[in-house]
Amino acid sequence: MGLGEALRSWLRVRGRSAEHVSFAVRRLAGMVLALYLVVHMVDISTLLMGEHVYSAFLQVFASPIGLVFDVVLWAFLVLHGALGLYSALVEAGLLLERRKVLLAAAWAAALLLLVVGIVVILYVMG
């Protein structure tokens, strides 16, 4: 199985359970957060090139595109955290009889935190 086929199978949701879709979202969020770590390391390393390079790089994140990037990053962080907490509880054998309710609560908490975070990002940065 090639990489493209594997990624398509992760994102195929038709006929899959809510738990499977949630796991795929958490996995995708984890990969995006790992890529962000690389971007962050590049960001920090621009300090070695001088303050003017670092300031120019930061201007990108202060732009409207930077706001979108921050919102998307926040969304992936919240989803990965909430769904990861759900997975940790289930894998520990806790609340197994209430897995559906727990999964719904994880999604609800993620959506609530997402909305609050977007409001804060737009208020502070926008």
Q: Count of domains in the chain?
A: 1
Average pLDDT of the segment spanning 35-63 = 85
Q: How far apart are CA 111 and CA 105, in angstroms?
A: 10
In a domain, 18, yes or no: yes
What domain range includes position 11? Answer: 3-30+59-125
Other CB atoms within 10 Å distance of the CB of residue 118: 15
**pLDDT for 66:** 85
- Angle at Cα 34 formed by Cα 49 and Cα 11, nearest 5°? 140
Q: Is residue 82, in this structure, part of any structural domain at all?
A: yes
Indicate if the pLDDT at residue 60 is higher than 90.
no
Token digits of residue 45: 């390393």
Give a yes or no: residue 54 inside a domain.
no
Looking at the domain assignment, is residue 45 inside a domain?
no
Predicted TM-score (pTM) of this structure: 0.80
Residue 67 lies inside a defined structural domain of this protein: yes
- Has residue 38 been placed in a domain? no
Residue 46 inside a domain? The answer is: no
52 lies in some domain = no
